[in-house]
Amino acid sequence: MKLDGLSIYCLRIPFVQAFRHATKERHESDAIVVEVRSQGAVGYGEALPRDYVTGETEQSVVDVFTQYAWPRLANRVLDAPEQGLLEALGRQLDELFQAAPAPEGGFIAHNSARCALELALLDLSLKLRQQNLGELLEPRVARVPYSGVITSGSPERAAALARKLVLGGIGQIKIKVGDALDLERVRAVREVVGERSLRVDANGAWTLEEAQSRLATLAELGVESCEEPLGRERMAQLPELTAHSPVPIVVDESLVTAADARVLLERGACHGFNLRLNKLGGLWPCLQLARAAAQPGVWCQLGSHVGETSILAAAGRQLALHLGGLRFVEGSFGSLLLGQDIASPSIKFGHGGWGSALSGPGLGASVLPERLAALAVRHWSSTP
């Protein structure tokens, strides 16, 4: 497969309402959509660079595409075999991005960029074959239940959001914690949701001592797991916390690379992995990590980034259906969070949080080019 062109759209999509967690407040999605073209077909991928997760920024993603990746892809024939397409693309992208120059600062990996390119190439290849991603990643389950998320804010606001989630039939709820109102917020939500599954995400806001103290109380409130209690800079303390925690520990920002996974598994540093496509570099790395986690009995859940459009939502849906048995699944908020999605219909979960298989060639998202253009604040395009 030889590419005829590549375009990058840096988007700004206002949220229906602000989204807060311990380290950020967001009012809009800053997704980057990568478009690749070949033989009249178009494939779309998506990146949501987060400097506090992978060390990437919007600029670093644009730079790595325009200055590094595209000059190497423009005249190259990509290996896209009928059998083993995902693995073949995965290996070529590993090779490409491992040799990419690292920007300055706290850079960890070009995973957002890699994810966008992987999804775009996959979408394109599948469209050229008139295949849906589900034919490559065969679903093991017919549908998956998505979780609702309650952001940081007052306990009263959290209770109001919880009531909305209950009306939506959502059975699993994640609450953002990491501030002085943590316990009040969880108590307020518990009061509204009754026996529904609750878990928390601290986004690395706690010290070891704070985590130990809060988790003891959260266990009494029936909290089922805690995501990223300590943060990547305190990863070394995770084995101690995990060994005695009354609440299972899930790693998120502490799990960005395959090397992270090896260290975490060797040290028994967590009970679960939070897989996020954008954070880990796409479908192929997520599948590898899910396999690596299975043997020592570490569970996996699928996470999402705030502001994902239907492109990442579609890929996440297909991965979740394929893996089956994920402890929790997040994402597919679509127009529940985005003021406008770039696809019609927006890929989102329905009542009960249920999301089922997607149809149509490619990833399963029908991107509207006019919406993409209307929502872009920067646009770069090139042909060989």
Partner 1 sequence: MDQTSGVAAGLGAHLESAYQASIRELRQAPPYARLVAGRAARSEYDAFVLEVCKTHSLSAHFVAFAFSLAPPGAAATLQHNLLEELGADGGEPHPRLLSALLEGAGLAHEAARVERAGRLRLDDKVLEPLFYGSLRDVGLAALVEIVGFEVMLSQVAAEMARFLREHRGLPEAALAWFTHHAEVDLEHAEQGKRAVCEYAEHYRFVLADAVAIADATLDQNIYLARYFGAGSAAAARAEPA
Interface ranges with partner 1 (CB under 8 A): 13-18, 27-28, 160, 163-164, 167-169, 334-336, 338-340, 344-346, 348-352, 354-355, 368
What's the closest the beta carbon of residue 345 comes to partner 1, in angstroms? 4
Q: Which is nearer to partner 1, 101 or 350 (CB)?
A: 350
Instruction: Report which of 326, 306, 225, 307 is spatially closest to residue 270, judged by C-alpha positions.
Output: 225
What's the closest the beta carbon of residue 168 comes to partner 1, in angstroms? 5
Residue with tokens 């967001």: 26
Q: Which is nearer to partner 1, 292 or 368 (CB)?
A: 368
Q: How far apart are CA 257 and CA 72, in angstroms?
A: 24
Residue 330's CB: how many other CB atoms inside 10 A? 26
What's the closest the beta carbon of residue 321 comes to partner 1, in angstroms? 15
Which residues touch 265 (CB under 8 Å, ≥6 apart)? 292, 293, 296, 298
Q: Which is nearer to partner 1, 167 or 259 (CB)?
A: 167
Which residues touch 159 (CB under 8 Å, ≥6 apart)? 188, 189, 191, 192
Whether the CB-CB separation of 200 and 177 falls below 8 Å is answered with yes
- Sequence length of the chain is 384
What's the closest the beta carbon of residue 127 comes to partner 1, in angstroms? 20
Q: Which is nearer to partner 1, 2 or 164 (CB)?
A: 164
DSSP E strand stretches across 247-349: 249-251, 272-275, 299-302
Which residues touch 297 (CB under 8 Å, ≥6 apart)? none
What's the closest the beta carbon of residue 301 comes to partner 1, in angstroms? 21
Q: Which is nearer to partner 1, 272 or 355 (CB)?
A: 355
What's the closest the beta carbon of residue 9 comes to partner 1, in angstroms? 18
What's the closest the beta carbon of residue 101 comes to partner 1, in angstroms? 35
Instruction: Report which of 230, 237, 259, 250 is spatially closest to residue 108, judged by C-alpha positions.
Output: 259
What's the closest the beta carbon of residue 19 comes to partner 1, in angstroms? 11
Q: Which is nearer to partner 1, 67 or 344 (CB)?
A: 344
Q: How far apart are CA 65 and CA 71, in angstroms?
A: 8
**Distance, first Cα to last Cα, the chain:** 14
Which secondary structure element, helix H or strand E, spans residue 258, and what is its range?
helix 258-266
Q: Which is nearer to partner 1, 197 or 366 (CB)?
A: 366
What's the closest the beta carbon of residue 156 comes to partner 1, in angstroms? 12
Which residues touch 150 (CB under 8 Å, ≥6 apart)? 158, 161, 162, 165, 173, 174, 175, 176, 185, 189
Q: Which is nearer to partner 1, 160 or 221 (CB)?
A: 160
Q: Which is nearer to partner 1, 110 or 185 (CB)?
A: 185
Residue with tokens 């920024």: 57
Whether the CB-CB separation of 219 and 199 falls below 8 Å is answered with no
